[in-house]
Structure 1
Amino acid sequence: MKVSEIMTKKVEVIKDNELVTKARAIMRDKGHRAMPVVDRNNMMVGIIGRGDVLHITSAKSNLLVKGMMRRPVIGFEDEDLYAITKRMVDNSIKQIVIVDKKVQNKFLGVVSALDILSAYVNEEYISKVDIVEKIMKDTLYCTEEDELSRIGKMMLAADLTGMPVIKAEGKNKKVVVGFVTYGDLINGGYRISEESGKQRKTKIKNVMKAIAKYVTVGERVNNVAKLMVKNRILRIPVLDNEKNKNLEGVVDIEEMLRAYL
């Protein structure tokens, strides 16, 4: 399977001389996780994501996209599925910008981690790892009473797109009650860099979503892939069992893609 078969060609872009606040507003209103950045000639120059725009401290910031964007990892239409998967995993990214081989930096589209995982699911590829317990990893977590300002900074520092929210019940018991993501912060209009006032006092319980999607340690990787694709999620809590709902770890889409290589 080639990149041309799974890439998204109609992608909303933003100019490098636009305000970062505009990029944030578009992500909030349209649910984009990231946006390709082009120059005045519509040539590819970068990419900007939710984690980048969360750094801005004011709704009236004059910071331009070119000052916050990252250099994109690029790919080509004729590359195969495994090659593009390996490049994404090796670079720990969730989007690869597709450009023209003949015209340098001519933007053609984007391949996301979910595009790739969807291809594996739709084509019924079999993961090389059987159960999710073998690919899950430890994670930072927070409580409902934690301040958004502190937790948001932890998420950015650790490059976590989402964090489980737990309720401590006895020794070593971490019952998952919710999940908070970059998207929740952007959609709620929160700016985690602010240090005082109402923003700082906001609690995680006012931002998080009650836990809706999770898996248990014995779930098969192929089933987890289907769940993530169906619900368009990048990170999912792994619990001990349905009854206790005790947090054991998380699985990111990066680990999911690696399981197919």
Structure 2
Amino acid sequence: MISIPVGKVKAENILKKFPYLLPYDKASHARELIREYKIRVLAVANSPNNPKIVGLIKRVNILNISSTKSNLQVNDIMEQPIAIIREDDEVDVILNALLKNNEWYGIVTNSSGEYKGIVGLEDVINYYYKNEPEIFNVEASVLSKKLEYLYEDDEISKAWYKMLEHDYAGFPVVKRDLKVVGSLTQHDLISKGYTRIQLESQTSPRKILVKEAMNVPPICIKQSDKVTNAVDEMVNKNVGRVFIIDDGGKIKGIIDRSDIARLIFEKKIKS
């Protein structure tokens, strides 16, 4: 457990040292790493020696590739990073930067701009979960965001378009009576090898349904539960969102890491 006083913990104390990519690596290699590490982003550096950040690869960039055998290189699909975190930035600076830029992850560099790792909302959440758990002693329903979901018999193309439309990385999957039966995330799509052509196809002879790609069982909490219960699930099961259900198992809300991060910001930093 990290024992540094709250407010003094720095990026270097909580970052994860994920591998980085080079511009001329194959995009297929980026896919393999994102699938292996189950992460939303990977840094792109200019060189294996004293690596300086030149870009960023997101899961959505990988899913936009039209074939798993594509000859595309990393520099063909990379983006410019929005949230750059310095290794000596403290937790309040990290959280503010991520929320301000609507990002779940930031690339961490030293003062010379060399790559050091990646820090995410979950790292900040994990820290407060271990050190100040009382922050999360509020009703979960207070944080519940706008409700979006997929039906289990929706086509996979609908799920893909909905992810793009709402800029969400995952959704609950429900039956027609709104009982939650699973979840579907960008990671599920990548891990099962789907490509852009498959995700966008609405004319294929064989329709791919959401229930074929979804992950089960869904991670749910009750309407009467506290945010603490949601954070317990996120931290212990390493998931980005939990679903709020009623006593009959019907979907009532969603809480994701950005909701938890905003709660921390309001309670500990903004105040």
TM over 0.5: yes
Give, as a single letter, the amino acid of the residue that structure 2 aligns with 1:43: K
Counting only pairs closer than 5 Å after superposition, residues 83-122 of structure 1 correspond to structure 2 as 83-101=93-111, 103=112, 105-122=113-130
Counting only pairs closer than 5 Å after superposition, residues 6-45 of structure 1 correspond to structure 2 as 6-8=14-16, 10-40=17-47, 42-45=51-54
Cα displacement (A) at 1:66: 1.9
Aligned equivalents of 1:160, 1:59: Cα separation in 2: 23
Match of 1:155 among 163, 174, 190: 163
Q: Which residue of 2 aligns with 1:76?
A: 86
Give, as a single letter, the amino acid of the residue that structure 1 aligns with 2:242: I
Q: 1:146 to 1:128 in 2, by over 3 A?
A: closer
Contact residue 240 and residue 257 of structure 2 kept, 8 A:
yes
2:197 is aligned with 1:197: no
2:52 is aligned with 1:46: no
Aligned equivalents of 2:35, 2:88: Cα separation in 1: 33
Unaligned stretches of 5+ in structure 2? 1-8, 266-271
Q: Which residue of 2 aligns with 1:61?
A: 70
Please give the secondary structure, in 1, of the residue aligned with 2:255: strand
Q: Which residue of 2 aligns with 1:240?
A: 246
Tell me the alpha carbon deviations over residues 126-149 of structure 1, each in whole angstroms, 9 at most, x when there is no partner.
Answer: 327711111111232111111112
Match of 2:144 among 131, 136, 141: 136
Match of 2:221 among 210, 215, 218: 215
Q: Which residue of 1 aligns with 2:191?
A: 187
Please give the secondary structure, in 2, of the residue aligned with 1:190: coil
Q: 1:152 to 1:36 in 2, by over 3 A?
A: same
> Matched residues, percent identical?
27
Contact residue 153 and residue 192 of structure 1 kept, 8 A:
no
Aligned equivalents of 1:60, 1:191: Cα separation in 2: 10
Q: Which residue of 2 aligns with 1:224?
A: 230
Counting only pairs closer than 5 Å after superposition, residues 172-183 of structure 1 correspond to structure 2 as 174-183=178-187
Aligned equivalents of 2:29, 2:204: Cα separation in 1: 24
Contact residue 161 and residue 235 of structure 1 kept, 8 A:
no
Aligned equivalents of 2:261, 2:130: Cα separation in 1: 14
Q: Which ranges of 4 or more aligned residues in structure 1 deviate by more than 4 Å?
A: none
Please give the secondary structure, in 2, of the residue aligned with 1:18: coil
Please give the secondary structure, in 2, of the residue aligned with 1:15: coil
Aligned equivalents of 1:25, 1:77: Cα separation in 2: 27
Deviates more, 1:182-191 or 1:76-85: 76-85
2:174 is aligned with 1:166: yes
Contact residue 48 and residue 68 of structure 1 kept, 8 A:
yes
Instruction: Report the count of equivalent residues.
Output: 251
Contact residue 105 and residue 118 of structure 2 kept, 8 A:
yes
Which one has a larger percent helix, Structure 1 or Structure 2?
2
Contact residue 149 and residue 192 of structure 1 kept, 8 A:
no
Please give the secondary structure, in 2, of the residue aligned with 1:248: strand
Give, as a single letter, the amino acid of the residue that structure 2 aligns with 1:253: R
Deviates more, 1:61-70 or 1:221-230: 61-70
Cα displacement (A) at 1:38: 0.8
